[in-house]
Structure 1
Amino acid sequence: MEQEVSDFVLFLGRFHPLILHLPIGFLVMATILEGVSRLKRFDEYNKAVELVLLLGSLSAVAAALLGYMLAQAGGYGEQLLIIHQWSGVGVAVASAGAYLLKRYNRNRSSALMDRAYLSLLTIMVIALGIAGHYGGSLTHGSDYLTQYMPNGLRTVAGLPPKEEKGFKKITNLEEAAVYNDIIDPIFETRCTSCHNQNKKKGELQMHTRQLLMKGGEGGPIIVEGEADKSEMIKRINLPEAHDDHMPPEGKRPLTSEYKKLLEWWVNSGAPFEKRVSELKRSKEIQSALNTLVDPQANMSPAEKLLASDIDPVESKVQTELQKHGVDLRPVSDRGHWLQADIKKEHSVDSLLVMLKKVSPQLTWLDLGETTTTDKALQPIREFPNLTRLHLQNTRITDKGLSELAGLANLEYLNLYGTAVTDAGIQQLEKLDNLTKLFVWRTQVTQEGAQDLQETLPNLKVYLGAEKKSVALENDSK
């Protein structure tokens, strides 16, 4: 009968990851100091080696003991665990022995003891490398260090060519194998680092079909045909802060599309041999599947634009614009797309002409609260990458809106507090990507907004509190 492990032992074992870096740091530093102190100009460092070795050996012993306690919880591959465990013990013994020899041979009076000391120091470093490597393999998977190693280095190291994990390009979605091409790659990229033959967290292994369906210490994690009763689906849908949420904190989370696809697979009976064409799909699932063929499939034109590359603006151009009252900022931390705000006290007429210098990079423009007129707005047609435009509380009229007809990427337009009318907004009917239009406190009526939405069914027009905002449902969506 298997003996139950004390909770206190397991509690102490959880401190193993907390202190294991101490012996690594101390013992590596002791080795470096020893080597340096053998040079005459640095021989004074020899006095520090003994203390650093003592601290390293004590922390190595503590790490080994706590590691042994942690191992009692189970969930680790036996072979890797044994190698990691005994190499850790080797580090503790070798470092303690090296400390004792160093202490009793302080002045290197015995050549034999000095050779023995250096031999133990060498063994200690080798054992430290082995323990660290196999410890990383237990925690992150056996290929953690080599997963991204270039094939050239793999050849030198005597390793086979890199096997690509995760999603392979799907060219024919209908003929794709549901499990092999879609579900298993999700497991490979998000789950199997903790649930494999070497690390069996919760006694669950997901690297083979049989072990996946077997489940873990709590039993099967998949109830075929019933996602809402499947433990796997329950856990991936828990709040991220929940202790039982999977993947755990610190691991790459599942995207909303991946969660939907896993639920779809389980609800379809968790098949292993069927193709996509053989399973029923809702519009939501089809949308998620489309991202496997084209990652940008569900992106709006604006999102695709911002995901693309653009050359940066020359710093002198940016400095010149800022001197004239244009606040230029990056839209995000990635890429060189810009947003521009023009200060209210500056003349828009001349500044829009100057902004042509950054028109390729400019995607957000805020002219709100400025003196913008229909005439001043004429250069706007030369800003093809605009996705957001603020014109609230400006002097523009229906005539000015005609200048926006060529902004094919525009998704957001704010006309709050302007003199535009129903006739004016009808000039926006060619902006197929427009999704938000703010016309609160204008002369636009509910009827005018509805007429525009019949042409642009993805558009929502915001008329404000005194009028009813309208949004037509797009049945073809």
Structure 2
Amino acid sequence: MQETPDFVLFLGRFHPLVVHLPIGILIFAFFLELLSKFQKQSNFDAVIKIALLLGTISAFFASVLGYMLSQSGDYEEGMLNSHFWLGVATTAVTFLAWVLKTDFFPLPASFKVVRSNIAILTLIVVLISITGHYGGNLTHGSDYLTKYAPFNDDKKVELPALASLDEVVVYPYLVEPVLEAKCYSCHNESKQKGNLAMYTPELLMVGGKHGPILIAGDAEASEMYKRVTLPESDDEFMPPEGKTPLTEEEIAILKFWIDSVNVDFNKTFAQLKVPEEIQQIAANRLDLTYSGKLASDAMPKVNILDVKTIDALISEGFQVRELVLGSSLLDITLPDKTVNMKDGSVLDKKIALLVGIKDNVIRLDMGGNGVTDEHLKSIGKLSNLQQLKLPDNPISDKGISYLKELSELRSVNLYKTGISKASLSQFSEMTNLRKVYAWQTSIKSDDVVSYNSNEIGPEIILGL
């Protein structure tokens, strides 16, 4: 089978952009036609004629581009054909409406009712709605519109409540929710990017056009795991740009499932040797007991924050998420480029807010916001901080010394910063630190090999 040229697929990707033009134009023409009939005016006729002509032309190009996009092979054929031919029908009926409106072909007086265009424009709006519904199903899945509808009888079956961690079945309770949130939008029953469907265990094991994506017992060799752990700047990184990447917890779940559960879909915790980290993640996600305590009890006890404090953080541009409901233990993110890197005083104010709730911050992401060594002095006061992300910031080895006070720190992301191998020895002094993400820094693989042979410390990850 001949492969579709890249240029055709490039043009096809303009379909989602172009397809909205005829939709807007034709609905505009429909309402103008209604207005002209109710007000018994013909002043709008010239505009309606132009709108129908532009709607025909733009619908034609949208159909052509849609056909080009369909050649990628990423969509379910039956629904794709329905969407395509409904689009063609919409284009044809729109052209007919323009012919009737402009008297392009002379018509007998008996066609006067049809020439009024009300009926045919109503048909066009109906066709647009049905075609758009099929297009939405292709993009988001066949249940996208009805999934949460009160009359929907096909809602996802709720998993049984669990009494303990021993009862946790790894795939449905931990792995599948990650895939559903981060992968299903591109790999569902209607849309299969790379010929990969992931919405059933059987299809997940089949893999995509390049073969299986899971190798039982070997996460590092599994294509799925490789893709989600690449640097976000890599073209092969998944999910693609514009989608929310997997969190470190979600990646840990995926790695555990592949390496330790051997991609089994039915095994429970009781049948496995489960690392403490995974037990903690499961307890937090499923609200179960951990080591004889509630999941919330396994985390530090802190003062409960009032709404005013949270609102102050949000007003400064922070995204705030509570890790355990009612705990006031926070996962805080400052989106990239929220702060102009040339204006350090603005960032000083934001970090001062964090210091004011230093015991409550468990996870912090301030990537791409001009965080300097001086700012790390303050960040080093966040006493319960466990996860710190500082990628793409002007940080040096000097700043790392200020983080040594973070006794609970488990992982730190220093991608694309100014640190060097001089920081390696400082990482060893952080007793609970397990992982350091240091790709695109001056630290080289030889430095890591030498470090591992001489010191006991966290895993240094330089990417692939």
Give secondary structure in 2 for the equivalent of 1:206: coil
> What residue number does 1:163 align with?
156
- Residue 141 of structure 1 is matched in structure 2 by 141
Residue 108 (structure 1) shift: 11
Matches within 5 A, 1:186-205: 186-205=178-197
Partner residue of 1:288 out of 277, 281, 288:
281
Q: Provide the rounded CA distance (Å) in 1 between the counterparts of 2:196 and 2:56.
A: 35
Using the alignment, how far apart are the partners of 1:282 and 1:329 within structure 2? 37
Q: How does 1:84-163 map to 2 (within 5 A)?
A: 84-104=83-103, 110=109, 112-115=111-114, 117-149=117-149, 151=150, 154=151, 159-160=152-153, 162-163=155-156
d(CA) in 1 for partners of 2:316, 2:161 = 25
Q: Kindly state the Cα deviation for residue 178 of structure 1 after the two structures are TM-superposed.
A: 1.1
2:55 aligned residue: 56
Q: Which amino acid aligns with 2:313?
A: V
For residues 25-64 of structure 1, the aligned pairs below 5 Å read: 25-40=24-39, 43-64=42-63
CA deviation string 1:394-451 (max 9, x = no partner): xxxxxxxxxxxxx9x6889xxxxxxxxxxxxxxxxxxxx9559xxxxxxxxxxxxxxx
Residue aligning to 1:354: none
Counterpart contact for 1:175–1:275, Cα < 8 Å? yes
Whole-Å separation in 1 of the counterparts to 2:104 and 2:66: 32
User: Residues 236 and 259 of structure 1 are in contact (CA less than 8 Å); yes or no, is this contact kept in structure 2?
Assistant: yes
In the TM superposition, residue 192 of structure 1 has moved relative to its aligned partner by: 1.8
**C-alpha distance after superposition, 1:62-114 (max 9, x if no partner):** 00011111111111111110110011001100111101110118999945244
Q: 1:53: Cα distance to partner?
A: 0.9
Deviation per CA, 1:316-340, whole angstroms, max 9, x where unpaired? Answer: xxxxxxxxxxxx98133499xxxxx
Question: Alignment partner for residue 267 of structure 1, among 259, 267, 289?
Answer: 259
Residues 168, 181 of structure 1: 8 Å contact kept: no
Equivalent residues of 1:205, 1:216 under 8 A apart: yes
- Residues 1:305 and 1:246: Cα distance change in structure 2 (over 3 Å): farther
Q: Summarize the Cα distance change of 1:106–1:97 in structure 2 as closer, same or farther, 3 Å threshold.
A: closer
| 1:213-362 to 2 correspondences below 5 Å | 213-268=205-260, 269-294=262-287, 297=296, 300-302=300-302, 305-306=304-305, 310=306, 330-333=312-315
Aligned with 1:60: secondary structure?
Answer: helix
Matched, 1:6 2:15: no
Which sits farther off after the overlay, 277-286 or 258-267? 277-286
Q: CA deviation at 1:115?
A: 1.9
Shift of 1:194: 1.4
Alpha-carbon distance in structure 1 between the residues aligned to 2:134 and 2:235? 27
Structure 1 CA distance, aligned partners of 2:188 and 2:360?
48
Following TM superposition, by how much is the alpha carbon of 1:186 offset from its aligned partner in structure 2, in angstroms? Answer: 1.7
Return the offset for 1:223. 0.8
Q: How far apart, CA to CA, are the structure 1 residues paired with 2:59 and 2:354?
A: 58
* Pick aligned residue for 1:208 from 178, 200, 203: 200
Structure 1 distance, partners of 2:86, 2:361, is 60
The one-letter code matched in structure 1 to 2:227 is R
Quote the offset at 1:4 in angstroms.
2.8
Q: What is residue 175 of structure 1 aligned with on the other side?
A: 167
Find the residue that maps to 2:213 and give its secondary structure. coil
Contact 1:237 / 1:245 at 8 angstroms: preserved in 2?
yes
**Pair 181,410 (structure 1): closer, same or farther in 2 beyond 3 Å:** closer
Counterpart Cα distance in 1 of 2:176 and 2:37: 55
Instruction: Note the residue ranges of structure 2 that are not aligned, 5 or more in a row.
Output: 289-294, 318-327, 331-352, 363-381, 386-404, 410-425, 434-464
Cα contact 1:90–1:124 (8 A) shared by 2: no
Q: Is the 8 A contact 1:388 1:410 kept in 2?
A: no
Q: Which has the larger radius of gyration?
A: 1
Deviation at 1:183, TM superposition (A): 1.3
Q: Which amino acid aligns with 1:82?
A: N
Q: Does the 8 Å contact 2:141/2:189 carry over to 1?
A: no
CA distance in 2, matches of 1:145, 1:81: 17
Gaps of 5+ in 1: 314-327, 336-360, 364-385, 391-406, 413-432, 437-452, 460-467
User: What is the Cα deviation at residue 3 of structure 1?
Assistant: 3.1
Which residue of structure 1 lines up, in the alignment, with residue 412 of structure 2? Answer: none
TM-aligned CA deviation for residue 457 of structure 1: 7.5
User: Deviation per CA, 1:252-285, whole angstroms, max 9, x where unpaired?
Assistant: 3322111100010000211122101222222322
> What residue number does 1:395 align with?
none
TM-score by length of 2: 0.64
Distance 1:72 1:473 in 2: 54
Residue type of the partner of 1:263?
K
Aligned partners of 2:30 and 2:118 also within 8 Å = no
Structure 2 distance, partners of 1:411, 1:141, is: 37
Tell me the distance in 1 between the aligned counterparts of 2:30 and 2:156.
37
Indicate if the aligned counterparts of 2:205 and 2:212 stay in contact, CA closer than 8 A.
yes
- The aligned amino acid for 1:189 is A
After superposing the two structures, state which structure 1 stretch, 111-120 or 181-190, moved more. Answer: 111-120
TM-superposed deviation, 1:43: 4.0
- Which whole-Å CA distance do the structure 2 matches of 1:71 and 1:281 have between them? 44
Q: Distance in 1 between matches of 2:361 and 2:135?
A: 51
After alignment, is 102-111 or 137-146 more displaced? 102-111
CA distance 1:410–1:13, change in 2 (3 Å): closer
Which of 1 and 2 has higher RCO (CA within 8 Å, sep 6+)?
2
User: Alignment length, in residue pairs?
Assistant: 339
- SS state at 1:330 partner: helix
